[in-house]
Amino acid sequence: MGRWTEIDHTADLALHIWATDLEDLFTTAARGMFQLLTGDVSIESSHQEFFSLAALDVETLLVDWLNELLYLNEVKGLVFDTFAFDKLSPTRLRAQIRGALVREYINYIKAATFHNLEILKTEDGYETEIVFDT
């Protein structure tokens, strides 16, 4: 089960993420990002979205994944809490996600950035830091 902690950044928001495998990494990063946006709100998922992404490498795929979720949040007002992957490799994913309409936010995130982004393979799984422009 992955976990995250918020790291101080002078102007923006940043997360340190630990995860057991790739699926856990993508899920944990998404959960951490939505917590930055909404705080600890509980939602009753009633909306479902499906999408596929392909990217150059795993770092780009992670940024694409988070930015796809931010896009869905901005245009549909949805916050997601359930993430399932029909397919997930370092360069491709096909996801089914579930979420709900949320109107109250504590932060706004413009985008997930590539700043110093490196996904490290560790003995316990994966570890990374991601900076969000706010």
Residue ranges that bind another protein, judged by CB under 8 A: 6, 8-13, 55-57, 59-60, 63-64, 67, 71, 74-75, 77, 105-108, 110-111, 113-117, 131, 133-134
Give 18's strand partners.
Answer: 3, 127
Q: How far is the CB of 20 from another protein (least distance, A)?
A: 25
Q: How are strands ordered across the β-sheet holding 78-89?
A: 47-54, 92-101, 78-89
Identify the CA nearest to 110 among candidates 30, 39, 13.
13
d(CA 32, CA 3): 8
- Looking at the Cβ atoms of 9 and 47, the one nearer to another protein is 9
- Looking at the Cβ atoms of 84 and 106, the one nearer to another protein is 106
Q: How far is the CB of 58 from another protein (least distance, A)?
A: 12
- Looking at the Cβ atoms of 95 and 130, the one nearer to another protein is 130
- Looking at the Cβ atoms of 45 and 67, the one nearer to another protein is 67
DSSP SS3 for 9: coil
d(CA 111, CA 125): 25
Q: How far is the CB of 41 from another protein (least distance, A)?
A: 14
Identify the CA nearest to 58 among candidates 8, 129, 120, 132.
120
Q: How far is the CB of 105 from another protein (least distance, A)?
A: 5
